[in-house]
A and B are shown apart, each in its own frame.
Chain A
Amino acid sequence: DQQVKQNSPSLSVQEGRISILNCDYTNSMFDYFLWYKKYPAEGPTFLISISSIKDKNEDGRFTVFLNKSAKHLSLHIVPSQPGDSAVYFCAASGYTGTASKLTFGTGTRLQVTL
Chain B
Amino acid sequence: NAGVMQNPRHLVRRRGQEARLRCSPMKGHSHVYWYRQLPEEGLKFMVYLQKENIIDESGMPKERFSAEFPKEGPSILRIQQVVRGDSAAYFCASSQGQGMDQPQHFGDGTRLSIL
Contacts and interface: CB of A to CB of B under 8 A. Distances in A.
A1 interface: no
Given A51-B100, A98-B56, A42 B105 contact: no
A74 B42 CA distance: 17
Interface stretch (A13-21, A63-71, A76-84, A103-111): A103-111
A41 B108 contact: yes
- The contact size tier of chain B is 20 to 34
A100 B96 CA distance: 11
Nearest to B57: A98
Given A43-B91, A98-B48, A49 B56 contact: no
Contacts of B98: 99-100
Interface string A31-49: 0101010000111111001
A105 to B, nearest CB: 5
B103 A107 contact: no
A110 to B, nearest CB: 15
Nearest to A38: B106
A61 interface: no
A4 B98 CA distance: 20
Given A100-B95, A101-B58, A46 B41 contact: no
A30 interface: no
Given A98-B55, A100-B98, A43 B41 contact: no
B102 to A, nearest CB: 8
B69 interface: no
Shortest 3 CB-CB distances between A and B: which pairs? Answer: A43-B106, A104-B42, A98-B56
21 contacts: A36-B106, A43-B6, A43-B93, A43-B107, A43-B108, A44-B43, A44-B91, A44-B106, A46-B103, A46-B106, A49-B103, A89-B43, A100-B31, A101-B48, A101-B56, A102-B35, A102-B43, A102-B45, A103-B45, A104-B44, A105-B42
